Homo-oligomer: A and B are copies of this chain.
Amino acid sequence: VTSSPLTPVTLNDVAREAGVSLATASRSLNGGNRRVNDAYRERVMAAAAKLNYTPNLSAQAMAKGASSIVALVVSDIADPYFSSLAAGVISGAEKAGLIVTTAVTHGDSERELELVRALRGQRPRAIVLSGSRYAGEGSQKALIAELKAFESTGGRVVLITQREMPFATVLFDNYNGARSLAVTLVQQGYRRFAALAGVDTLMTSRDRLSGFMDGLEEHGISVDRQHIITTDFTREGGYRAAIELISRDIADVELVFAVNDVMAIGAMSAFRDSGRSLPDSIAVAGYDDISTARDMTPALTTVRIPLEDAGARAFELAFASEPRNDDLITVKGTVVIRESTPHR
C-alpha cells in the first residue's frame, strides 16, 4: 500500500477507493443505524482495511460536538492508592470505548485548577477528580466555578472522596471505617494509642482520625495530644512522624494508627530502624489495604477499600442514565486484622 507520506489516510481517501460518496463511507464506518446497502458497506470496509484507515477523533469530535474522552485528575499516579483508582476508571472507560487522559496535580490546588481548565479544552465527556482536596480552601470556589462551567456545557463531573462539593461523588466511608477499626482494636485488648495524621484540612485524614477517636471514646479511651502527630500524607511523612513520636516518649503507647497504609508502612520502617521489633514492642494499623499491606512483616492491619472498584463506579456515575449532582455512592471499608495488631 502506498500512500502519500506525512498525510494520514482520510475518510475521503476511503470513499474514493471504494467508489462511493463521503457520506456513504461515513455511514458505513460509523453510522450506528445500518442505513446503507450491504454491497457498498462491504466495499467501504474493504477499502478502509486496505488503506489502514483510522478515523480522526478530533474531526469526529468537532463534527458531532462530543469527544470520546474522559479526563482523570489524580494527585500522584505512582501512589498505589491513586493508580488503583485510575485502573478502575480506565477499565470502565475502555469497556465503553472511551479514552482516558490522565493528569497529575501533586497535591497542588493551583495546578489542579489549571489542569481542569486545560482538560476542559478537550471537551471530555466527563472529568473525574480524585485529588486530595482540602477543606475550605480559597481555590475551592474557583474550582467549583470551573467545574460548573464545564457541566453547563454538557460535561459530567465526578469526584472521588471530596465531600461537600456540588457534584456527583464516590465517597469512602472513612469515618465509620476508622471507627470500626478502633472498636475492633479495643476488643483486641488495646488501650493506649497514638495516631499519625495528615493536616486537618485534608478531609480524608480528618474523617479517619475523628472516626478512630470516636470509636475509642465509645470505650472511654482518649488519646494524649502529644501522641497525635500531623505529617505528610506519604510514606516519608509516616516515617518522620514515627521518629518524632519516639522522641516524645511513647513507652506506654501500645498501638499506632496511621491514617493511610503508606504512612503506616513508613512508620513500621522507622520503628524497625530504631531497633523496635514489630509487633511486640508496638502495634501498627493503617487504612486503605493497598496491595503490599498483606506482604508486610508483620502483615498490616488496615481497613480495606475496594479502590479499583471505586474507580469503576466513579466512571459509571459519570455515565449514569439520569445523572444528578446529588448522586452519592458511599463505599464502605472492611476492617482487616492482620499480624501487626495481635491480641493482647
Contact = CB atoms under 8 A, between A and B. Distances in A.
Interface string A289-317: 00110111110000000001000000000
Contacts of A230: none
A265 to B, nearest CB: 5
A196 interface: no
A89 to B, nearest CB: 10
Nearest to A152: B5
A320 interface: no
A7 B153 contact: yes
Contacts of A56: 62, 121, 123
Interface in A251-297: 265-266, 268-269, 272, 278, 291-292, 294-297
A275 to B, nearest CB: 13
Interface residues of A, number: 63
Contact of A291 (B119, B146, B153, B235): B235
Interface of A: 3, 5-8, 52, 54-62, 67, 69, 76-80, 83-84, 86-87, 90-91, 94, 99-104, 117-123, 145-146, 149, 152-154, 235, 265-266, 268-269, 272, 278, 291-292, 294-298, 308
Given A78-B291, A90-B103, 7 more contacts: A7-B153, A57-B122, A58-B122, A58-B123, A78-B308, A99-B101, A235-B295
